[in-house]
Structure 1
């Protein structure tokens, strides 16, 4: 279990596993989608990739891999071909879905096959279909990244495509966001108006880009490079991506788990108390798990964090079976 969160590197790139450990392209050949077809799925043999050496070296940490299958996905979003990953239980059945919203930007934090093996498979082995998007403009996905702009549609359209995944229950969906992925969680809930989203969880999630830029200056450069028209009205453009300023627009029937460290060195904890206060004021259901001294990715509490998130999704996505 300790392998789950050990792949965190410096920056907003959570779960970016071992540099150069798995440089396997996620690109699918550009294919013609048939009428009504939303998503294509291709199997991955992870034993043919570099991450397999790690699995062989630490087999005791990967015993669950025989319970899951690995896939590349390619789907359409606003007419663009978007790449991503999927991990699903081997056993037949209909399973709730966890949409994993990656952190980082551009190639920093991109999805690798190692992400499936080291991270997504852990949840899939607990009875979930895991799907993840590279977002537009990244890892052979078409289009241009906007760091919380039109790329939010890539999450929404992935959710809409789940109806064509046989093992996925498209009516039982949870969002799991890491760092920038937390921002994507909130924007998806705000803009998507998707009743099938039943719960969300974030680790080190960004809720105020102005504060993030203040304490992590290199992110200001990222904002300037990726966010369209930011110089026209910088304050409001950043606020439009910052959930603290529009908590009243979040759904009141989607409970959220918010995990953060007071010593987070990349997404300052300063932005979290005002966000939690606003959630309370607007009666948005949430549970906060705050650690006094840990890293951006809560690596010092990795086992506990995995168990808490799994239990959270079990409660809200598997209610009928509990």
Structure 2
């Protein structure tokens, strides 16, 4: 099991090799960006992007935020984006783009720890997949935890959601299938919730909603709220977030 194509990218890094990889999912050729360490792979981080199309696309700088000399970082583009075949379904069959990539990476590096990071729209992608993967933890950052809440909150995105998912009343089944919390139980991997108090893209109540549910079912989780930050933290706040994420991953692994 492996990727069907690896294209070396013009990324000049001392510690990692940058490649755009292609793999087959549901008879579609799907792509993603991968930064592989030149040292032994001891950790895998799957970064689940936000946005759609060119907005929020996977970038080298973003993946590097989660790297260290022994960490492989992979970001799926999702089908229908950046040269990948198919159609983006906003947490529909495009979830297979995450699970198939994880299957390949765990086959190649069976001893490595695995952490998922879901940002913005990617938050829902991760919540719908992390408990089925050989993941050690999940980090949801400014992430969507409930699609109904998103539909009500983001009037400007309702047209896009109706095209990609449907109307929440007329296509109730499609929304209910994407209700991620129903799939999480006390045995799912631990979750770190990160959110900005001034986030206008994904309101912080999405983080509260998830935390309240996890507390109710006795699930292991932690929160890190930056009440003065928006969807993307300012430089100093961003540095603080990344320190929290790396400490979280280290703590999870050290307690295995």
Instruction: With the length of structure 2 as denominator, give the TM-score of the two structures.
Output: 0.90
Q: How does 1:273-292 map to 2 (within 5 A)?
A: 273-292=208-227
Q: Please report how far the alpha carbon of residue 170 of structure 1 lies from its aligned counterpart in structure 2 after TM superposition.
A: 5.8
Larger Rg: 1
Q: Please report how far the alpha carbon of residue 45 of structure 1 lies from its aligned counterpart in structure 2 after TM superposition.
A: 2.3
Distance change (3 Å), C-alpha of 1:235 and 1:271: farther
Q: Does 1:241 align with 2:189?
A: no
Distance change (3 Å), C-alpha of 1:273 and 1:126: same
Q: Please report how far the alpha carbon of residue 250 of structure 1 lies from its aligned counterpart in structure 2 after TM superposition.
A: 4.3
Q: Which runs of 5+ in 2 are unaligned?
A: none
Give the stretch that moved more between structures: 217-226 or 172-181: 217-226
Q: Does 1:254 align with 2:189?
A: yes
Q: Which runs of 5+ in 1 are unaligned?
A: 1-35, 48-64
Q: With CA pairs under 8 Å and 6+ residues apart, which has the higher RCO, 1 or 2? A: 1
Match of 2:100 among 150, 157, 174: 157
Residue 205 of structure 1 contacts residue 260 of structure 1 at CA under 8 Å; is this kept in 2?
yes
Q: Deviations over 1:137-182 (max 9, x none)?
A: 11111111110000001000000111454xx446521101100111
CA distance in 1, matches of 2:2, 2:26: 14
RMSD of the alignment, in Å? Answer: 2.2
Give the corresponding residue for 1:224.
Answer: 162
Residue 186 of structure 1 contacts residue 250 of structure 1 at CA under 8 Å; is this kept in 2?
no
Give the corresponding residue for 2:200.
Answer: 265
Distance change (3 Å), C-alpha of 1:76 and 1:273: same
Q: Does 1:213 align with 2:155?
A: no
Q: How does 1:40-51 map to 2 (within 5 A)?
A: 40-47=5-12
CA distance in 2, matches of 1:152, 1:203: 18
Instruction: With the length of structure 1 as denominator, give the TM-score of the two structures.
Output: 0.73
Q: Please report how far the alpha carbon of residue 41 of structure 1 lies from its aligned counterpart in structure 2 after TM superposition.
A: 2.4
Q: Please report how far the alpha carbon of residue 236 of structure 1 lies from its aligned counterpart in structure 2 after TM superposition.
A: 4.4
Equivalenced residue count is: 255
